[in-house]
Copies of this chain bind each other. A is one copy, B any other.
Amino acid sequence: MAQNIYDRPEFFEGYSQLGRSVEGLDGAAEWPALRAMLPDVRGLRVADLGCGFGWFCRWVLDHGAARVLGFDLSEKMLARAREAGPAGAIVYERADLEQLSLPAAGFDLVYSSLALHYVEDVMRLFGTVHQALAPGGHFVFSTEHPVYMAPSNPGWSVDAEGRRTWPVDRYLMEGPRSTDWLAKGVVKHHRTIGTTLNCLIQAGFIIAHVEEFCPTAEQIAARPALAEELERPMFLLVSARR
């Protein structure tokens, strides 16, 4: 059973105030890059693994998806997603991604935004997703980049001249990483890029695109703090085909 950090009051409170929670998809700097990796969603059957407040579920519905299911471990997030509606058009279900089961060939697109780094057994999950996709179906996801997640001290080091570097260690030591982000003791599962891609390939996927999120010049001009994202990769974005 995965750690249900999102339902802890202090975490939920903090998470609810993030740009991506308040503004939705447009509050997430990596969304334009991830959106560019999606197929045309019109008529597709879509599952969102780790749907949170349901922003993506509503977006695909607005863009013509035929059927939308959102899965999340957090009761609080699902409750808020259901409140946002539209009633009946999107089905939200509670699910632990460590134990998820999905109907065979029931979807054309499986999407997941920043949820897979909470999953220990991605090999199992990728197998579940593969069999749940129709032939030719798409699996598009973002996850925390392993360079971001690996370090013992995942924060900037600033030298005498004020230059920032990201102090990588333990990169090849896969396994849990406990950090204090919004709440104490949040457990994420560090895997190399190689492991993530090889698990997809082993599950039967064809790798279609791999992107390490890089803000555009326009994004940095609009929000100068994003410039630090050029120094070390924070998000890994992947699309794969069944």
Q: Which residues of A are interface residues toward B (Cβ below 8 A)?
A: 147, 151-153, 157, 163-173, 192-194, 197-198, 201, 206-212, 214, 229-233
Q: Are B212 and A192 in contact (CB under 8 A)?
A: yes
Nearest-Cβ distance from residue A108 to partner chain B, whole angstroms: 21
- Chain B residue contacts of A233, Cβ below 8 A: 171-172, 192
Known: A171-B233, A201-B208, A201-B209. 15 other contacts (CB 8 A): A147-B147, A147-B171, A152-B163, A163-B169, A166-B167, A171-B230, A171-B231, A172-B214, A193-B210, A194-B210, A194-B212, A198-B209, A198-B211, A201-B207, A207-B207
Q: Which chain B residue has the least Cβ–Cβ distance from A230?
A: B172
Q: Are A206 and B206 in contact (CB under 8 A)?
A: yes
Is chain A's interface secondary structure helix, strand, loop, or mixed overall? mixed
Q: Which chain B residue has the least Cβ–Cβ distance from A165?
A: B167
Q: List 21 A-B contacts (CB under 8 A).
A: A147-B171, A157-B157, A165-B167, A165-B169, A166-B168, A168-B168, A170-B230, A171-B212, A171-B230, A172-B212, A172-B230, A172-B231, A173-B230, A192-B212, A192-B214, A192-B233, A193-B210, A197-B197, A201-B207, A206-B206, A207-B207
- Chain B residue contacts of A207, Cβ below 8 A: 197, 201, 206-207
